[in-house]
Amino acid sequence: MVAAAAGVSRATVSRVVNASPRVTESVVAAVNDAIARLNYVPNRAARSLASRRTQVIALVVPETTAKLFSDPFFASVIQGIAMALADTDFTLNMLISSETRSEKTRRYLLGGNVDGAIVVSHHSGDHSYAQLGQSLPIVFGGRPLLASESGSYFVDVDNAAGAAVATEHLASRGSRHIATIAGPQDMPPGLDRLAGWRHALALRGLDDSLWEVGDFTPESGAEAMRRLLARGRPIDGLFAANDQMAAGAYSVIHEHGLSIPGDIRVAGFDNNYFGSTAVPALTTIDQPSAELGAKMAEVLVKLIERQSVERVTLMSTRLVERASTAP
């Protein structure tokens, strides 16, 4: 180790690099100076081999969700993770784990190649990696679908609260027959946003039977809207569980010669450009996606460093009012 040419031993240099408290100040300065001068960069491999810590965090992305990236929300979450980690000594290792290789992923994770993992999936309820949580620090994006897996650490957005806010907003603007296009009922966001809609209607004493299920795609939103209108009952408000489905619903509403917000006020959830570029611009619920990712990274790092952390972190949402719910 050349830096030892700073007049000290390799061990001391190591201490300085690792910010050990028990090193004389003058020595620290001398070593740091030498490090800068020699352009020294510690070798990660050697370091982890000796310390038995890898400084690597895995980002597990179930491949069935190859579309993951095409969803701006997740892209943003991942960005948040990357940004948060950039301030630490941890490195991000993306694992696209297809179903056929999930066993391989599992072994890789347990093989001492990473210090912890972040699991992000469209099927965020899928905590099938939850069991690993006992052998390796893991943080999930999204609450588990099953209560039985509630032992895991996770960061989630408060879906129910957000949905309730959007619904109440529609009501406050005057809508009385508020329908919803819910997400898949086997995914927590699908369930929770429907529950939030119900909750808000209950508080107002409004009817909560006007709901159809979609799969978060624009097409499914259009179909669901078609089914809702086919019921022949009055509808003057719509809460779509995401902006994509709201966009799909838009086209059907227009097809039927109805206007937004004139005949039907519409609110979505996610705040992405499906909503912002729609005409009229869509009122929606904004999720702090990058912050969510950053929080996941933060929780994981604490977990790895054995600091105490909450098992559950819920991030709050924000209503973004736009033309689609004008009074």
Q: Return residues touching a copy of itself (CB under 8 A).
A: 39, 41-46, 48-49, 54, 61, 63, 66, 68-70, 72, 75-76, 78-79, 82-83, 86, 91-96, 98, 101, 107-108, 110-113, 218, 247, 273-274, 277-279
The closest of 148, 250, 238, 126 to 193, measured between CA atoms, is 238
Please state the closest distance from residue 132 (CB atom) to DNA, in A: 19
The closest of 118, 111, 123, 113 to 133, measured between CA atoms, is 118
**CA diameter of the chain:** 86
79 binds, among a copy of itself, DNA, none (CB under 5 to 8 A by kind): a copy of itself
Scanning 18-26, 56-64, 182-190, 202-210 for contacts with DNA by CB under 7 A, the matching segment is 18-26
Does the bond joining 144 to the residue before it have cis omega, within 30 degrees of 0?
no
Scanning 7-15, 92-100, 211-219, 307-315 for contacts with DNA by CB under 7 A, the matching segment is 7-15
Rounded Cα distance, 200 and 231, in Å? 22
Sequence-distant (6+) residues with CB within 8 A of 230 are: none
The closest of 192, 206, 120 to 162, measured between CA atoms, is 192
Total residues at the site for DNA (CB under 7 A)? 25
Task: Tell me which H or E stretch contains 119.
Answer: strand 116-119
Please state the closest distance from residue 295 (CB atom) to DNA, in A: 28
Q: List the x/- string, 37-76, binding to DNA by CB under 7 A.
A: ---x-xx--xx-xxxx------------------------
Rounded Cα distance, 81 and 83, in Å? 5
306 binds, among a copy of itself, DNA, none (CB under 5 to 8 A by kind): none
Please state the closest distance from residue 55 (CB atom) to DNA, in A: 10
Transcribe 47-87 into DSSP letters: HHHHHS---EEEEEEEGGGGGGGGSHHHHHHHHHHHHHHHT
14 binds, among DNA, a copy of itself, none (CB under 5 to 8 A by kind): DNA
39 binds, among a copy of itself, DNA, none (CB under 5 to 8 A by kind): a copy of itself
Contact residues for DNA (CB under 7 A)?
1, 7-15, 17-18, 22-24, 27, 40, 42-43, 46-47, 49-52
